[in-house]
Amino acid sequence: MISRRTFIATAPIPLALLACGCRPARSSPPKLCWVQALKGHPVHQLTQIAFQDACRELGYQAVIIGSDGPDLVATISSAEQAIALGNIAGMAVWTGNPAFNALVESAARERIPVILPHFPVAEGAIPGASGVVACDPALYAQEAAIKLGERIHGAGTVAITQGSFNTTENQVAETFTRVLKQRFPRVDVAPPIEEGFDPPAAVAKIAALVRSDPDLVAGFSTTGGGALAWSEARSDSGRDLVIIAMDYTRFNLDLVKHGDVYAIIGQPLWEESRAAAFLLDRLIRGETIPWWTKAPAPFITKYDLAPHYARLEKVEAAIHINIKK
């Protein structure tokens, strides 16, 4: 079992990497902004590195904008200031909350193309946005429901936890619940609860949930921190819970490797974050792009870990390079 202490000690990535990461040219290159609250979260840092990697390849200066905590107001205010200062060629906004809609419209009024990574929305739902790059949450939620149902032999109670109640996580929870009930009618699915993004608080909430239901056999988290929270609750309870969570951080992959978590859904964080920069570049060049650029989200068990560890080796190498600069 990997302890919470290990996670807390090793998960944060030095924020030195959040600088541009691009070697300045003789004249200042145009800027592509990545707007994302809670920018110090390990999952979010992975997306920032991917965006910076693509900007470097394309010849742009990557600018990371966001609050250290989940402060949307501060994040939006910083992004608006960046727009006012000018020289912003394009912007990728990690939304998931209607609070960002006005920012997207502000950027569009300044003729700044905006790509929305990770959170798929219908075309026209956010005025001013140029496109979305994300996986299809309904597809991976369906796959997770079927594989979890098979793993628990179609019986028992399953709990769902979400990082927050937002459009994407709500859709995942709703699809997962519907498919699980349809395919495995003997399974009871508890209503989702919000685990939040603070690891100790999330562990406490899920531990209380486990203690309150002796029929609970599995947990499904729609957020990256859920692997830690559920595995800690599983260890504390001494019950052999089947756990599925999100995101291929090294810590989460290690939990799968050691049997603390059954599977991780590999939301294509690296792919969609790099693609956001390439899509912005196409728009800047005057090209037309589809509204939704889709990326796959693989279901990762202990038999599928190797390529994802390899991807993290690249991320960690990028961190090392940025720290030395």
For 194-205, give the secondary structure using H, E and C: ECCCCHHHHHHH
Structure confidence by residue, pLDDT tens digits, 205-239: 999 999 999 999 999 999 989 999 999 999 999 99
Structure confidence by residue, pLDDT tens digits, 259-309: 999 999 998 889 999 999 999 999 999 999 999 999 999 999 999 999 999
Which two structure tokens, joined as six digits, stand for 153?
Answer: 């032999």
Give the pLDDT score at 146: 98
- Give the whole-angstrom CA distance, residue 80 versus residue 67: 13
Which residues fall within 8 angstroms of residue 279, CB to CB, at 6 or more apart? 115, 130, 131, 133, 289, 293
Give the pLDDT score at 178: 98
> In the 3-class helix/strand/coil scheme, how is the chain assigned residue by residue?
CCCHHHHHHHCCCCHHHHCCCCCCCCCCCCEEEEECCCCCCHHHHHHHHHHHHHHHHHCCEEEEECCCCCCHHHHHHHHHHHHHHCCEEEEEECCCCHHHHHHHHHHHHCCCCEEEECCCCCCCCCCCCCEEEECCHHHHHHHHHHHHHHHCCCCEEEEEEECCCCHHHHHHHHHHHHHHHHHCCCEEECCCEECCCCHHHHHHHHHHHHHHCCCEEEEEECCCCHHHHHHHHHHHHCCCCEEEEECCCHHHHHHHHCCCCCEEECCCHHHHHHHHHHHHHHHHCCCCCCCEEECCCCEECCCCCHHHHHHHHHHHHHHHHHHHC
Domains and CATH numbers, the chain: 4-135+268-294 (3.40.50.2300), 137-265 (3.40.50.2300)
Give the pLDDT score at 18: 37
Stretches where the chain sits below pLDDT 70 are 1-27, 318-325
The residue type of 59 is G
Give the pLDDT score at 312: 85
CA-nearest of 270, 277, 291 to 90 is 277
